[in-house]
Every structure is written in structure tokens, then in C-alpha cells.
Amino acid sequence: MRAIDFHVHLPTPDWMDGSMAGYIEPAEAYFRAPAQRTSLDELADRYQALNARALLLAWDAETATGRPRLPNETVAEACRRNPRVFVGFGSVDPHKGPAAIAELDNIAALGLRGVKFHPSLQAFAPDDEAYWPIFAACQQHGLAALFHTGTSGIGAGQPGGQGIRLDYARPIRLDAVAVACHRDGTGALPRSRDHLAALVSMTIGGVSCQRTRPRPWVGDAAAWVGVWLLVEASVFGDAAGG
């Protein structure tokens, strides 16, 4: 195996034209590339030809966006059909409260390995303790919690960012979550750039960097850091400089 792609949203019409309706076109302009729609079988063939694996992500931001979810069952079925190529993470809408916690039972039963949270598009603050029972349930099931942090290509360059608030995705918001869920969390450092502080203040197991355009990794490029909180294990960073 040559590589693992740790961040793969499904390129299928149900996600692009359903869950992402109205968001895809501005995102294409921001990333300067068209979003190509394809089937999951075709996607599996592509990764297999590359001798690589892909981490597929489900999606549920129904409350904040009013758009349909991409079911966890869809990702689980793709993983079942292509176990040597795909690994799956589920999704829950944090605003659904007890229903979200119940869905975590389903995610674990489906054999998915973790849960993806997107605070800015799901419009919730991870450091609000009202959502912590969801994270505790992730921990109980041994599910990794993956948080999108920093900027967002979705909504970028649009009036009002299409209503997407980046404040929800400030990495420093994960500091309290890390301390509560991770034995080795040490608390945040008073740095002006939250992303670097989040990385420095936690036990780092690994950091991966991906750039959409060549640019030195300095100063405010730190705004493209994303933090992986692997409960009861270690903290990983998934950083993209743009």
C-alpha cells in the first residue's frame, strides 16, 4: 500500500447534489477545480489502481443546513463491498441530542471506525458541554472523533460565507474537549494562533500536511490546521496549507 487518503467525501450525486446543494459551485471556484461525480465502485477502482486506501466520510448537518444527510449505512455498505480499499467514519448531527447518541450505537454496530464532526457547517461549538455526552459516547464505543477546524472551502468567497461561521471551528475550542476526554491533555498555551496552540498543547501522535497550492508554512498559514482527537489514544493533526 502506497498511501492512505484520510479525508474522502463521497463524490456521489446524493452528497454533491443533495447534502451539498448550493455549496458545490462556490467550492469549485475556491479550489479552482471541478467536482467530479462518480460511483463508489468507480472510486474503489481508482484507489485500488493507485495501491491506496481511502477513509470515507458520512455526513449529517440537517439542522444547520436544511439539506439531507448522507447516511452512515451508505458508507458502511461501501466499506463492506470494498474492505481492502475503504475504511469508514460516520456522522451525527450534534443538534439532534439523544437521537445523535443513539445513532452512535448504530455507527459502532455498522463497523465504522470513527465520527466526523464539522463544527462550522453543523453550527455547533465543541467546547459547549451540552454536546459532550456525544463525545463521551464516541469514547465509550472506541470511535475516533475527527473535527474539521479552521477555514472552510465551502462558503469561501461568498456573501456572509453562506452563513457558515468559522468561529465554531476555532481549534482552541477542542482544548477543553481534549482535557475532558484524553488523559494526557495538558491545556492550551496562550498563543495568538489557535491552531499552533492546539497542536503544541496536546500530546501529538502525528501530523500530516497537504497543500492545495504551493506556499510557505508560516504565519497565518496555520489557519489550515485540523485536529484529530483520538480518544484514549493520542492526538493527530491533519493540516492543509492553502
pLDDT digits 0-9 by tens, 148-188: 998 888 888 888 888 899 899 999 999 888 887 654 444 43
CB neighbours of residue 127 within 10 Å:
17
pLDDT digits 0-9 by tens, 16-69: 999 999 999 888 888 899 989 999 999 999 999 999 999 999 999 999 999 999
Domain boundaries, the chain: 1-162, 170-242
pLDDT over 50 (residue 138): yes
- Sign (positive or negative) of CA dihedral 152, 153, 157, 163: negative
pLDDT at 214: 38
Give this prediction's pTM: 0.76
Q: Is 165 exposed, middle or buried (0-12, 13-18, 19+ CB in 10 A)?
A: middle
Among 58, 56, 65, 172, which Cα is nearest to 122's? 65
Say if residues 122 and 66 touch (Cβ distance below 8 Å).
no
**Which residues are within 8 A (CB) of 64 and not within 5 positions of it... i.e. 6 or more apart?**
93, 95, 121, 122, 123, 124
Q: What percentage of residues in the chain have a pLDDT greater than 90?
A: 57
pLDDT at 155: 85
Q: Which neighbouring-strand residues pair with 86?
A: 54
- CA 47 vs. chain centroid, Å, equals 20
| Cα Rg, the chain, nearest whole Å | 17
**Which residues are within 8 A (CB) of 32 and not within 5 positions of it... i.e. 6 or more apart?**
none
CATH code for the domain defined by 1-162 = 3.20.20.140
pLDDT digits 0-9 by tens, 54-88: 999 999 999 999 999 999 999 999 999 999 999 99
Say if residues 145 and 118 touch (Cβ distance below 8 Å).
no
C-alpha cell at 71: 447516511
Q: How confident is the model at residue 191 (pLDDT cuts 50, 70, 90)?
A: very low
pLDDT digits 0-9 by tens, 108-121: 999 999 999 999 99
